[in-house]
Amino acid sequence: MTSDKKRVNLTLTKIYRDALELLVEEGIYLTTQEAMRDALRMLFEAQGIPPFYSQEAELSECPQCSGPATHPSGLCRDCHQAKLEAGPP
C-alpha cells in the first residue's frame, strides 16, 4: 500500500518559526507540524475549498459537543476556538 503523503520543505523566517513555537509552548498545538496543518485547513476553508478529512478524523467525536472532531486537538473547530478565546484555565 502506497502512502498518499509527500514531504514538502518550507523555509520560514524567524518570526514565523517563533510564532509556531509559541503556539506549541502555550499548549495550543502539540507540534509545529500540527499548527501548520491547521493553518492550511483554515486557508482552504477561507478560500471555499471543501474540507477533506481522513476517515479516522470523520469517525472521532468532539468530547465537548459530540460533533465531528475535525481539529487536531481532538475537538471540533468551534469548541477549539472557544477554548482559545477562553484562555488558560
- Provide the grid cell at 37: 496543518
What pLDDT, on a 0 to 100 scale, did the predictor assign at position 57?
45
pTM of the predicted model, to two decimals?
0.55
Phi-psi region of 2 (alpha: psi -120 to 50; beta: other; left: phi over 0): beta
pLDDT value at position 11? 95
The model's confidence at residue 55, banded by pLDDT at 50, 70 and 90, is: very low
pLDDT-based confidence at 15, cuts 50/70/90? very high
Any idea of the CA torsion for 61, 66, 86, 27, to the nearest 10 degrees? -10
Residue-range domain boundaries for the chain: 12-52, 54-89
Q: Among the listed ranges 2-6, 54-58, 67-71, 72-76, which one has the minimum average pLDDT value?
A: 54-58
pLDDT level of residue 23 (50, 70, 90 thresholds): very high
Model confidence at 19: pLDDT above 70: yes
pLDDT score recorded for residue 88: 67
